[in-house]
Every structure is written in structure tokens, then in C-alpha cells.
Amino acid sequence: MNIPVLLQHPPQRFLKGLLRTPFRRYHFIFHSSAGPGSGSPCPRPADALGLHCTKWMVLSDGLKRQLCVQTTLKEQTEGLSDKEQRFVDKLYTGLIQGHRARLAEAITLIESTHHRKKELAQVLLQKVLVYHREQEKLNEGKPRAFRVGLSGPPGAGKSTFIEYFGKMLTERGHKLSVLAVDPSSCTSGGSLLGDKTRMTELSRDMNAYIRPSPTRGTLGGVTRTTNEAILLCEGGGYDIILIETVGVGQSEFAVADMVDMFVLLLPPAGGDELQGIKRGIIEMADLVAITKSDGDLVVPARRIQAEYVSALKLLRRRSEVWRPKVVRISSRSGEGITEMWDKMREFQDLMLASGELTARRQKQQKIWMWNLIQESVLEHFRSHPTVRGQIPLLERKVLSGALSPGLAADLLLKAFKAETNEI
């Protein structure tokens, strides 16, 4: 797989910097801004930097000299030791063969914050991504898995619903993966809710895989590696991926950028149609399910359903081919869950036929890339020697009221920029 990076006027310092990256073998193609029919060899070959420069190429569109850096999966793995290569191959082979233990190891690897393990994780992900694309080609270009995001306020019955819904799907021959994202304890750093312990029947099902992941303070409620975990689960042969997010809030916007369909679960006794659920969150939902529609709560559930149906008519549609639906379900009696799955399949078929599902996934890939860039830039900023030395002092001044948070941030940024410009 080729990964192009285009940069205008590449400085020599940038080329040398590439040698310090984990993947040290690159293939360069230099483009000239000369007119058609002209061309010349590289005046400053990259061989002097330990790189391989091939030729000048002529662009008819008048673009300036550009550098195209292409790296392949084979070249990426050359930087690994024999032990690391065997480890990655073992994970990859076990993963695509459907071994749950290897899937668990692979997700643990991508969640690691160790620098070298993060590099190994990227090599594994590239291998899985190549396999994933090959499988999609065999499936006539259609996605082999259906990604569903689930959320709702505490007490909405998300875990109970997932267990009943998951058992129904596995009985129908599906392989289900549940990524339950829990808020982290400020004391221990572990998961607070323990969703897996509340899905006892589903956790024993061999066609289901449940992975609870603490957020570790990640803004948006989903972990930074949730996207990568989804890819690994699909590589392991799971055709339905459920992502359960933390409560109601910014997590909805984060999870909506990584799933095909977003489902909002609401309890029937939550007040009026917008009580506790803001308009922006309702706009993200492709399907709203009113839970606990049994016993004495049937009448309130019907009333809430009618209110949400009317409320959704006033909101702008996210899709040209799908209008969000509101259903009533009961995880205790099973009422409405089969009909809910039928509507989810209808959504998937319509989105695939219209091409919106493919376009949505492509957009999500770009968002994923920029989210990772933002996190990496922030991590680099925090670990910068000049900034790291000033952070404790400025934090104390902010706490004492001697400095405003805005001024402290400006001082840190100025120190970072000054040091960067000197390099």
C-alpha cells in the first residue's frame, strides 16, 4: 500500500528528519515546474542524505517542485527485529483466523502508550488494512461489517439491550463485537461501569466479543484507539460492530464520526421530548429507541415516542434517502427489538444503494487522520523541553490567580514557537 505525502519546496532538514522516523527506506519522485518536454536530473540527489532520488518529472500544470514520499508495507516492516516481526505476524495470522485471544492482544497493543509498541501497532494496522481492502474487493466493494454507535443517558438500559440484541444476532449467524467505552476512575484509571460484567450471557457466547475500554480522560467519551479497534474487529471476521459510548454529551459527536449508524436509546420517564437531550444530539441520531416499553411504562413510552416523532420532523435530515425513525422496545420481553433490527438493515441497504455509506466512511477516515494529528501535536507540545520546564511554574501562577489561563497559554505557545523557529 502506498502512502503519498506531498510537500512543496522540501527543505534538507525535512529530508534528514525522515531518517529518524521508524520507516527509514523511502522512494522519492521529484517534480519540476519546467514546461512540457523539458527535464533534468536531480541537481542535489537525495543519495547524499541516504535516500534514493529517481528522476525529475515534468508537470504541465505549472506546479512548483514537489516531493512525493511513498512507502510500502514491505518497507515499513524492514525496521523491525526478527522477534518483533514474528510477534506482529503471530497477531495478524491469529486475528484473521478469528482467534479472540489474538484480537484481545492486538487491541491491547494499539492501546499501549509505549513508543515502540505504538510503532508495532501501526505496522499491524497496515497489514490488517490491506487484508480489509482485499476482502471488500471480494465483496464487490461493499463493506463487510456494519458499524453501529449506541448511546443514551445513564439508566436507559444500554447494557441490557445490547445483551438481548446481541444474543438475537448471534443466533441468526452473525458475529458481534461490542466496544463498551467506560468513563475512567480518577483514582485507579480503570473503567467505572464494568459493562462486561453486566452482559453475562453475551460474554459467554463464542460468536460475540466484548471489549470494555476506559476513556482515560479522553475528551468526547470514546478512546483515541476506538477507530483502530473497529478495524481490528472487522479483520477478525466480526460483521456487526457495536460501540457503546459514555452517557450523553460530546461522545455522540465523536462516535458519529466513526460509525455507519447512530442509535440513541432513551428511557420513557425522561420528561418532555427535549428534557436532558439537546437538539444537536437528536440531530445526530439515525434511529431513536424508547426503552423499557413494558408494564406500567407502556403508556409513557407511547407518549414519548409520539413526541419524538413530531420533534424529528422539525430537524434537518442528515441523509437524502433516510428519515430518522422512532421505535419502542423492551429488553425484558423482547418487544420491538426484531422490528428495530429490520429498520437498521433497511437503513444499511438504502445507504449502500445511494452511495452515502461509502461517502460517510471516506469522510470519517479524514476526520480520524486529523484527530490523530491533533493529539500528536499536543503530545509533542507537552513534551517539548522548553515548554515542559515552564508548565509547573505557570500552572502554579494560574492556580494562585497571578496569571489568567489565557495569558499562561500564550506564554507557553510563544516559548514553543520561539524554540521551534530557532531549529
Nearest Cα residue to 211 out of 189, 231, 233: 233
HEC string for the chain:
CCCCEEEECCCHHHHHHHCCCCCCCCEEEEEECCCCCCCCCCCCCHHHHCCEEEEEEECCCCCCCEEEEECCHHHHHCCCCHHHHHHHHHHHHHHHCCCHHHHHHHHHHHHCCCHHHHHHHHHHHHHHHHHHHHHHHHCCCCCCCEEEEEECCCCCCHHHHHHHHHHHHHHCCCCEEEEEEECECCCCCCECCCHHHHCHHHHCCCCEEEEEEECCCCCCCCCCCHHHHHHHHHHCCCCEEEEECCCCCHHHHHHHCCCCEEEEEECCCCCCCCCCCCHHHHHHCCEEEECCCCHHHHHHHHHHHHHHHHHHHCCCCCCCCCCCEEEECCCCCCCCHHHHHHHHHHHHHHHHHHCHHHHHHHHHHHHHHHHHHHHHHHHHHHHCHHHHHHHHHHHHHHHHCCCCHHHHHHHHHHHHHHHHHHC
CA dist 286 and 296 (Å) reads 28
Q: Does residue 262 contact residue 147 with C-beta atoms inside 8 Å?
A: no
Q: How many CA atoms lie within 13 A of 93 on its CB side?
A: 6
Q: What is the pLDDT of residue 45?
A: 42
Nearest Cα residue to 308 out of 332, 277, 333: 277
Q: What is the pLDDT of residue 284?
A: 82
CA dist 118 and 120 (Å) reads 5
Q: What is the pLDDT of residue 8?
A: 43
Q: Which three cell numbers stand for residue 12?
A: 534538507
CA dist 11 and 63 (Å) reads 17
Q: What is the pLDDT of residue 158?
A: 86
In one-letter notation, the amino acid at residue 360 is: R
Q: What is the pLDDT of residue 304?
A: 86
Q: Any idea which residue has 510537500 for its cell? A: 7
pLDDT tens, residue by residue, 273-289? 444 455 667 778 899 99
Residues in contact with 144: Cβ distance below 8 Å, sequence separation at least 6, in sequence order = 135, 136, 234, 239
Backbone angles phi, psi at 6, to 5 degrees: -105, 125
Backbone angles phi, psi at 349, to 5 degrees: -65, -45
CA 325 to chain centre: 26
pLDDT < 70: residue spans in the chain: 1-78, 182-198, 214-224, 246-253, 270-280, 420-423
Q: Does residue 138 contact residue 132 with C-beta atoms inside 8 Å?
A: no
Angle subtended by helix axes 100-111 and 115-138, to nearest 10:
130
Q: How many CA atoms lie within 13 A of 8 on its CB side?
A: 4
